[in-house]
DNA sequence: AGGGGGACCTGTGCGC
DNA sequence: TGCGCACAGGTCCCCC
C-alpha cells in the first residue's frame, strides 16, 4: 500500500532494525521480482554494514558500508516484516491486516543482534537494485525524480512552471514522478479534492492561486498522512514492539456514491463519483472540484 | 516531448 | 460452491 507516506512509515520501522547492523547473510529466493536482482546480489550485501536507511520518493535506500546503496521499491504489494531477539521496546514487526503468505517471501536479510528482515511481495511489482552511492545523481530510478512534496523546491510557482504546456489532465500529471515525487493514486485524488481542482482539468491551466492551493494541498495531505502513520506507529508500539501500519480515512478515495465532505458542515449535496483516467480510478466531487 | 495503452503479477470480492 | 470478471496503493516500455 505504498505511496510516499507509507514508504516513509516503513522506513521508520526499518531504521532500528537495520541501521548500524552488519548484514550477516542475505538471500533471494528467486532470480527476480519485477526485474532481475542485480548481479551477485547476496554476496554484495553479505558482510557489509547498513549505515543509514533513507527514502527518496517511494524508494527506500539502505546506505551500505561497502559504498553501495541498496534500493528497494515496494511496488503495489511489497511489505517488510522484522523479527528480532534484542530490540526490546523497539519495532519488532509491522502489523498488517492479513498475515503474509510465506510463499511470497522473496528476500531475507539476517542482521546482527538476531534481526531478520523479510521482504514479501505477492504481485512482485516491487524491485531492488544495488548501485554505487557516489553515482546516485545519475542512477536510473532516481535521477529524473521531481522534488519531494515537503521540500523548499516544491511550491506553487514551481508546480505552475512544471505543468505549463501540458495538455493532459492534471490528475495524470501529478502521478508523474518527474513533476513531484512520491504521489500515488490515493493522495493525488485527495490533494485535488482539497484544492477543489477537477482531476480532468488540463494540467497546463494550473497557475497562480490555483497552483498555490494545489501545491499546498499536496504538501498538507502528505504531511498529515505521515503524521497519521507515525501516530498509528505509537499506538501500536506495545511491549512486544509491534509497529502499526498506516491506516487512514480518505475524503474521496474509495468513496464513490457517498456524500462529499466538501462543505464546512461536512455534507455536500453532491455524491462522490469515480471515473477512469489512464486506466486508473479517480474519485472526485463533481460539484466542488473545478 | 508528451500522452495513451499495454505489460508485468497475484489476490480478493462480487455477480451469476 | 464454482467461475469469470473487475479491480487493486506502481512503473516501465513501446508506439504515435
Q: What pLDDT digit, counting tens, does each position of A87-126 carry?
A: 544 444 566 667 789 999 999 999 999 999 999 999 999 9
pLDDT at A1 over 70: no
Q: Which nucleotides of C are covered by protein (CB under 7 A)?
A: 7-12
pLDDT at A44 over 80: yes
Q: What is the pLDDT of residues A218-257, one digit of tens each?
A: 999 999 888 877 544 333 333 333 343 445 578 999 899 9
Q: Tell me which residues of A are annotated as active site.
A: 2-3, 58, 280
* Distance, CA of A147 to chain centre: 14
Q: What is the pLDDT of residues A265-277, one digit of tens each?
A: 778 999 999 999 9
Which contiguous run of DSSP H or E holds residue A153? none
In chain A, the domains with their CATH numbers are 4-138 (3.20.190.10), 156-284 (1.10.8.50)
Cα–Cα distances in Å, from A113 out to A35, A66, A72?
Answer: 31, 20, 22
The stretch A176-201 carries a mean pLDDT of 96
Task: Find out whether A181 and A5 touch, Cβ atoms under 8 Å.
Answer: no
pTM: 0.93
Q: What is the pLDDT of residues A2-32, one digit of tens each?
A: 899 889 988 988 999 999 999 999 999 999 9
What residue has cell string 497557475? A207
Q: CA at A123, C1' at B7: how many angstroms apart?
A: 13
- Nearest nucleotide to the CA of A278, by C1', is B4
Amino acid at each position: 500500500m505504498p505511496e510516499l507516506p507509507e514508504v516513509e512509515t516503513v522506513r521508520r520501522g526499518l531504521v532500528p532494525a537495520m541501521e548500524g547492523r552488519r548484514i550477516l547473510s542475505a538471500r533471494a529466493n528467486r532470480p527476480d521480482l519485477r526485474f532481475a536482482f542485480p548481479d551477485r546480489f547476496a554476496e554484495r550485501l553479505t558482510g557489509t554494514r547498513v549505515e543509514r536507511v533513507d527514502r527518496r520518493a517511494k524508494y527506500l535506500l539502505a546506505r551500505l558500508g561497502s559504498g553501495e546503496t541498496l534500493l528497494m521499491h515496494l511496488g503495489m504489494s511489497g511489505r517488510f516484516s522484522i523479527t528480532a531477539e534484542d530490540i526490546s521496546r523497539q519495532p519488532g514487526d509491522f502489523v498488517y491486516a492479513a498475515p503474509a503468505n510465506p510463499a511470497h517471501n522473496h528476500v531475507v536479510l539476517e542482521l546482527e543482534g538476531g534481526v531478520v528482515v523479510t521482504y514479501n511481495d505477492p504481485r512482485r511489482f516491487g524491485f531492488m537494485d544495488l548501485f554505487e552511492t557516489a553515482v546516485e545523481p545519475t542512477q536510473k530510478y532516481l535521477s529524473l525524480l521531481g522534488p519531494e512534496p515537503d521540500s523548499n523546491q516544491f511550491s506553487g510557482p514551481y508546480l505552475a512552471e512544471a505543468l505549463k504546456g501540458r495538455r493532459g489532465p492534471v490528475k495524470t500529471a501529478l502521478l508523474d514522478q518527474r513533476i513531484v515525487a512520491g504521489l500515488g493514486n490515493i493522495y493525488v485524488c485527495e490533494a485535488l479534492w482539497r484544492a477543489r481542482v477537477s482531476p480532468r482539468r488540463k494540467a497546463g491551466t494550473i497557475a497562480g492561486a490555483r497552483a498555490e492551493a494545489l501545491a499546498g494541498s499536496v504538501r498538507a495531505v502528505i504531511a498529515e498522512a505521515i503524521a497519521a502513520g507515525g501516530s498509528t506507529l505509537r499506538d501500536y508500539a506495545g511491549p512486544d514492539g509491534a509497529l502499526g501500519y498506516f491506516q487512514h480515512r480518505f475524503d474521496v478515495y474509495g468513496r464513490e456514491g457517498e456524500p462529499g465532505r466538501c462543505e464546512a458542515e461536512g455534507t455536500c449535496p453532491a455524491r462522490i463519483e469515480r471515473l477512469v483516467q489512464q486506466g486508473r480510478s479517480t474519485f472526485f466531487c463533481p460539484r466542488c472540484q473545478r
